[in-house]
Amino acid sequence: MTEELHDVRLTVNGHAHEIRVPARRLLSDALRHDLRLTGTHVGCEHGVCGACTILVDGAPMRSCLMFAVAAEGSEITTVEGLANPDGSLGPVQQAFVECHGLQCGFCTPGFLTTITAGLRDNPTPTHEEARDMIAGNLCRCTGYQNIVRAVERAAELGAT
């Protein structure tokens, strides 16, 4: 028996894409395998680690917990869509570079999208609010201090 496929139109980073997927195809898999946008990483596949976080209509969402068919009609932003229009680093990305906010880089896409949304909601976070902003994302390398500094630096750079 073959699995029924569904035509889905996804708007990702401002571009429309037509794909044909099974109803149970995770959005993370559709982004990575069907659209070849491999910046979204899949860590735990249970929504716990935050590595797969993307923005859906501007809100952080774990793409490993969402079906691709459910994203139809939404505006999706992946880490690839955070750069400036000229291709230069966006403010959150630049802050990560300046503050050494990454080591292995596996968790970085999820942090970048989470922080982008967080700074949109709170453009001038206190130190504690910066810590709270990233509390749902896990990193096994950095110890978080430089990531918190990157949140604060991105706020200085005007990352809204």
What is the rounded CA–CA span in Å between residue 27 and residue 108? 18
Task: Give the list of residues 6+ apart from residue 128 with CB closer than 8 angstroms, or none.
Answer: none
State pTM to two decimals: 0.92
Closest CA to 5 of 69, 72, 63: 69
pLDDT in tens, the chain (160 residues): 688 999 999 999 999 999 999 999 999 999 999 999 999 999 988 888 999 999 999 999 999 999 999 999 999 999 999 999 999 999 999 999 999 998 888 899 999 999 999 999 999 999 999 999 999 999 988 779 999 999 999 999 985 5
Task: Give the list of residues 6+ apart from residue 126 with CB closer than 8 angstroms, or none.
Answer: none
Beta-sheet strands, E only, within the chain = 5-12, 15-22, 53-56, 59-62, 75-77
